[in-house]
Amino acid sequence: MRRNLVLIHLESVSQMAFWQYSAEMETLFNLMGRSAAFSNFQAASTSSVMSMSDLLHGDSSELDHLPLFPNDGNRLAGRSGNLFLTLLEQGYRTLGVQYGSFSLGDAPNNFWGVWPEACGQFRWLDRREEMYLEIRDFLEKSRAAGQPFALYYWNLNTHLRDEDPLKDKNLAYHERFQAGYRLLDLSVKRLLDDLAALGLLQDTLIAAFGDHGDDLWRHGCYRGRSHAIDPYANVAWCPLFIYNNGHDVCVSAKMVSMIDLKPTLRHLLLPELAPEPPATPFSGIDILAASRSVAFAQSMFALQIERSDPARAMTKSYAVTNGELRLLASTGSDFDDSGGLELYLEQWDHGDTRNLLDFCRLDASGEIIAFAVPEAVHPHFFMTLNPGTIRDLLDGYRNLRRLLAAFIKQKETEALKLFSGGPKHLFPDAAFARARKRKW
């Protein structure tokens, strides 16, 4: 008998937020303790719909050819199949549910093609009990039909814009945040209770994942935008855990990207099917059969026009991480020319707050020619950033810089094959020749 699938989309929940608000998410933490938890899970993009596409298609290039944030007239690249369409073709009943009033009407019924009608019904609901009844009815009918099911569950209570009455009655900003996480956790508890009551939990694979985090202006204002911005660790480093009826319980430091979930879940649910060959150079891997050394993330589509959102706040940036170092390249922010490179030692600096290139001198091509901080005279500095550490930093910088530049160039090359003409924005090579000078 095939196992069921529940995907729990943890809206705006980064790894940092997940631990900060652990007291509000008891159910999720208990579930994680009975799961395979991945401590080095990286989002491939910094906005919700892009993350949804990355996951369902197992590929980060489906939207890259679009010059504007999608609307009804846009189309996906169509080179990578949708996970839920595959499950439907294999006899699964499918349903997508999104809870949260602010988004109703924001997106067309198929999320601009990310969830086409062929994948089954997707429901937007703004009443809590209606959501519970919708899911319960779906579970009961799946059990009665003797069919496996796949449920995509997305609760927006943790989104900054969510206007749930139970959240809004908390007047203080921090209290509203806490309320959002509590409401998310309560809804997950109800879902798990229903699965258990119907005897379905033991046959259900549950994958809970954060799509991105909120920056809250610690790296710049972006006209107030808090996500869909530069992929710093506090935005792109997210929780992931996969529950398998108490089996495979572990904490893994393996590097996992959002695009790896589709091939991995496909393997777990449909092991009899041959692995899908990579559709593009940006397809994910089955983390049960392979491993990755780096993960990439982006803030916008490869050809998207900068500041094309209503607030005119979005700028283009990419990042690569090897789990120890994160290199970020940006065209700038806050309407200036402050773009360039940033390098962070993530094992020490989880929020990416100290650009290590501030300690360096770069030549005209962007190569580091010196690492020195004349004003740092205390032995703490030199005991921490000793010659061996500095040597590793310089080697890591060179390798990540090469990988990131090649990644961006290949993204643009592949996207241009599908581009239909008109304005577009390519990433400037000059950003790789300077360290970023950020205005605070």
> pLDDT above 90 covers what percent of the chain?
71
- H or E segment and range at residue 227: none
**What is the rounded distance in angstroms from the CA atom of residue 10 to the CA atom of residue 18?**
10
Cβ atoms 294, 400 nearer than 8 A: yes
Q: How far is CA 260 from CA 16, 85, 409, in A?
A: 21, 17, 22
pLDDT tens-place string over residues 217-272: 888 878 778 887 899 999 999 999 999 998 999 999 999 999 999 999 999 999 99
For the chain, give the mean pLDDT: 91
CATH dotted code for 4-290: 3.40.720.10
**What is the rounded distance in angstroms from the CA atom of residue 3 to the CA atom of residue 5?**
7
Q: Is the pLDDT confidence value at 334 over 70? A: no
**What is the rounded distance in angstroms from the CA atom of residue 216 to the CA atom of residue 230?**
12
pLDDT tens-place string over residues 258-311: 999 999 999 999 999 999 999 999 999 999 999 999 999 999 999 999 877 766
The size of the chain, in residues, is 440
The pLDDT score that the predictor gives to residue 333 is 58
The pLDDT score that the predictor gives to residue 73 is 64
- Strand-pairing partners, residue 58, are none
Domain boundaries, the chain: 4-290, 298-433
